Amino acid sequence: MIDFRDVDQAKPYKLFKELYKIAVLENQKNVEAISISTFNSEKSEVDSRFVNIKLLKGAEFIFFSNYKSPKSEAFKLHPQITALFYWSAIDVQIRIKAKIKKTPASFNDEYFKKRSKHKNALAISSNQSQFVQSYEDVVNKYNEVLETENLLKCPNFWGGFAFTPYYFEFWKGHESRINKRDVYQLNGTNWDHKIIQP
C-alpha cells in the first residue's frame, strides 16, 4: 500500500489518489507496483523493472533501493525516467514522466529503523543484481547477516529515490477499444490538460 503524506493538491495528484482508492476497492493485486524505465547513456541501453512505491509525499513518489544497483547508475547518468502503473482490476494505465533524485540520508536512516529486521537483513546482505553462484548462497548470506549485523543501522548503499512528475497520462480502457487518454503536462507551475487520441 502507498502511504499518502501531504499530497500536492493539483488535479493530476487528486486524480491519482481517486483511481488508487478505486483500484484498492476492486482488490487490485500489487497496487503499489510500478515499472520504472531508465536510460544508461554509457551503455546506450534502455532498461525497465518493477519497484514498489512506498510513499507519495507532497509531489514526490518514493521507493527504496540499493544505491549500487544498475538502476541507480542509470538514474545518475540520465535523471529522467518514465513510471507506469497498470491496474487490470479497473483497466487503467497511469504514465508518469519525471525527474528522479536520491532522498536525504537522514530520511533513509529514519525509514530504515522502522522496517522489519527481515527486510533489513536482505537490504544489507544482497549485492543487488550482481552475479552469484547459487540461490543457496543468497539465502546463506541473508541468514548470516540476520544473526550477526546491526539491523537498525541503514547502510550507506541503501536508501530512497524520489521522482517528481512533469507529465501524467491517465489511460482508461474501453471495451470498444476507443480508449480515453487524458494528459496533464506541467507548464511553469500550472498543469495543462489535453485529450489525446487512442
The answer to whether residue 6 forms part of the interface with its own copies (CB under 8 A) is no
Residue span binding its own copies (CB under 8 A) among the ranges 2-10, 12-20, 54-62, 120-128: 120-128
Placement of cell 512506498 in the chain: 54
Q: Are strands 60-66 and 33-40 parallel, antiparallel or unpaired?
A: unpaired
CA distance 64 to 102: 9
Within 156-195, which residues bind its own copies (CB under 8 A)? Answer: 176-178, 180-181, 194-195
Nearer to its own copies, 44 or 189 (CB): 44
The answer to whether residue 25 forms part of the interface with its own copies (CB under 8 A) is no
CA distance 105 to 65: 13
Residue span binding its own copies (CB under 8 A) among the ranges 2-10, 13-21, 138-146, 151-159: 138-146
Say which residues have a Cβ less than 8 Å from residue 106's Cβ, sequence separation at least 6.
none
DSSP at 138: H
CA-based torsion, 55, 57, 61, 63: positive or negative: negative
Within 54-113, which residues bind its own copies (CB under 8 A)? Answer: 78, 80-84, 86, 88-89, 93, 95, 97
DSSP at 83: E
Contact with its own copies (CB under 8 A): which of 9, 27, 150, 197? Answer: 197
Nearer to its own copies, 72 or 82 (CB): 82
Say which residues have a Cβ less than 8 Å from residue 25's Cβ, sequence separation at least 6.
none
Cα angle at 47 between 29 and 34, to 5 degrees?
20
In 3D space, the residue among 85, 93, 25 whose CA is nearest the CA of residue 61 turns out to be: 85
The answer to whether residue 22 forms part of the interface with its own copies (CB under 8 A) is no
The answer to whether residue 27 forms part of the interface with its own copies (CB under 8 A) is no
Min separation Cβ 6 and its own copies, Å: 28
Residues forming contacts to its own copies in the complex (CB under 8 A) are 29-30, 33, 35, 37-39, 44-50, 78, 80-84, 86, 88-89, 93, 95, 97, 118-119, 122, 126-135, 138-139, 142, 176-178, 180-181, 194-198
